[in-house]
């Protein structure tokens, strides 16, 4: 059966789709919800608006400017690698995983680069809105990444008889994330489970070249 899209076109479609959905959801949440406001969907799923200055799932490890710069460099390298594996006609699934990772990285870069200068501050008492460029809550490359998906699948207190952790509040799964984070995670997980041999083979070929 004839392939509807070339591997390059498929990659471009994935990247554009992930970016559009990611940004639409982020802008809707940021411009309609107060910071830390939550919408109860089910007992195990909430839309919970939060922002972070750091890496995926709210981790904050390094300075914001360094992190944003690192992300941009990483995206350039991933983009170069994606073009290379498309030219080498590697497996479609492998290429899709790399495209998902790249799309997710770009999605969070957009927040980091632009949101600080085009939105005013989101607070517990103020819903953010678009403002003229330069009148936002921060500087270029200093924007906060918008997160909203929260899955407290298990929300309980640990039994008192447990050593050290007994009686403590326990939540699984506690990280709050966005569509860009999901794209990165899904790409990496599928890559490692189903395409680890392809990954190793691709890098061996790169070293030989």
147 in catalytic set: yes
DSSP per-residue string spanning 20-55 = HHHHHHHHHHHHHS-TT-EEEEETTEEEEEEEESSS
Q: Which residues contact 205 (CB under 8 A, 6 or more apart)?
A: 88
Q: Is 111 a catalytic residue?
A: no
**Contact present, 142 and 64 (Cβ < 8 Å):** yes
Q: Divide the 209 residues of the chain into consecutive groups of 10 and give the mean pLDDT of each group.
A: 77 98 98 98 95 63 73 95 94 96 96 96 97 94 95 88 84 91 96 82 59
The per-residue pLDDT for 65 is 76
Catalytic residue from among 84, 111, 181, 206: 181
Angle made by CA atoms 171, 176, 180, in degrees to the nearest 5: 145
CA end-to-end span of the chain, whole Å? Answer: 33
**Which residue among 22, 84, 111, 147 is the active-site one?**
147
């Amino acid at each position: 059966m004839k392939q509807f899209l070339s591997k390059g076109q498929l990659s471009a479609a994935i990247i554009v789709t992930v970016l559009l959905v990611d940004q639409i959801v982020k802008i809707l949440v940021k411009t309609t919800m107060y910071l830390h406001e939550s919408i109860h969907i089910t007992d195990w799923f909430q839309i919970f608006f939060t922002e972070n200055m750091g890496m995926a799932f709210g981790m904050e490890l390094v300075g914001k400017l360094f992190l944003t710069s690192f992300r941009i460099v990483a995206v350039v390298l991933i983009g170069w690698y994606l073009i290379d594996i498309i030219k080498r006609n590697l497996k479609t699934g492998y290429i899709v995983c790399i495209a998902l990772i790249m799309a997710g990285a770009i999605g969070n870069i957009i927040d980091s680069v632009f949101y600080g200068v085009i939105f005013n501050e989101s607070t517990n008492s103020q819903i953010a809105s678009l403002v003229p460029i330069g009148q936002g809550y921060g500087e270029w490359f200093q924007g906060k990444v918008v997160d909203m998906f929260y899955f407290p699948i298990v929300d309980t207190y640990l039994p008192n008889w447990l050593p050290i952790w007994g009686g403590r509040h326990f939540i699984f799964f506690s990280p709050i994330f966005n569509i860009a984070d999901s794209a990165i995670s899904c790409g990496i997980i599928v890559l490692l489970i189903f395409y680890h041999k392809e990954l190793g083979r691709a890098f061996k070929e790169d070293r030989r070249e």
